Structure 1
Amino acid sequence: MSFLGKIFTWWDGATIGTLLDSSLKGELVGTDAQGNKYYRSRKPYPAGHPRAGEERRWVIYDGANDASRVPAEWHGWLHGGFDGVPESNLPPPHIWEADYTPNATGTALAYRPQGALERGGKRAPATGDYEAWSPE
């Protein structure tokens, strides 16, 4: 992305201000499998602030800013569910757990049921098991 794009856009990666904040006021805590970087403030919120004494936490996305790209364990950390990084607070994953996948809505990988316009718009014929309601 161009330098001007970094200054004025927020939807495709971090802006210059956020990058400066991260490097000057933030401490890198960790990264997830998608390359998103997680930071916390070096100083807690000052007295008089509604969240006085708490640390500020944020994510810098590797790519488009999409909250669904934050895995559940990091979501819990971002919102103060626990203090340590997720690797130190979570039990090992179960064998039946699926890997994290981002929300595919609006992409070519989105689910499109039979009858959707993207799949030709042809639905299966009605089977006659539906009875319309009519008020008496």
Structure 2
Amino acid sequence: MLKQIFTWWSGNTIGAAFDIGRRANPVGTDEYGNRYFEERKPSLEGRRRRYVMYNGLAEPSKVPADWHGWLHHTLDTPPTKMPLDRRDWETDHTPNMTGTPYATKPKGSLAAGDARQKSDADYEAWKPDA
């Protein structure tokens, strides 16, 4: 309960949820459970502010491309009303896993625990003239 009151990185604080719920309308939910909102009244610059309440950790890379476009006013209509056309060659959205146990660890990486490959025999280190 204290986490919800004082920390924003482990989810939404109670204050943020109350504030967004008070002045914004729910617009939709994505496949990750993130909820999207739009303010009822336009702000000073004439646009309605848009918000995302993350499901779990506040990780912006968990926002799919179509919702990202809507959040940044690139798209006027939310994906719940007008989904983007998907192409055959497109892959499903995956969040950035950097810094997590699921991060990619290439062969030879210190994090992977593999032995590093020896450098090629044709490598010659540069030595400046003395």
Is the structural similarity TM-score above 0.5? yes
Equivalent position of 1:43 in the other structure: 41
Equivalent position of 1:115 in the other structure: 108
Displacement, 1:135? 3.9
Residue 97 (structure 1) aligned to one of 70, 90, 100: 90
1:128 aligns with 2:121: yes
TM-score normalized with structure 1 length: 0.85
How high is the sequence identity, in percent, across the aligned residues? 48
Q: Per-residue displacement from partner, 1:83-109 (whole Å, max 9, x unpaired)? A: 11124152x211221111111111222
- Between the aligned partners of 1:106 and 1:124, the Cα distance in structure 2 is 24
Q: Which runs of 5+ in 1 are unaligned?
A: none
Displacement, 1:16? 1.1
Give the letter aligned to residue 44 of structure 1. Answer: P
Give the letter aligned to residue 28 of structure 1. Answer: P
Equivalent position of 2:59 in the other structure: 66
CA RMSD across the alignment: 1.6
Residue-pair matches, total: 128
TM-score normalized with structure 2 length: 0.89
Q: Which runs of 5+ in 2 are unaligned?
A: none
Give the letter aligned to residue 64 of structure 1. Answer: L
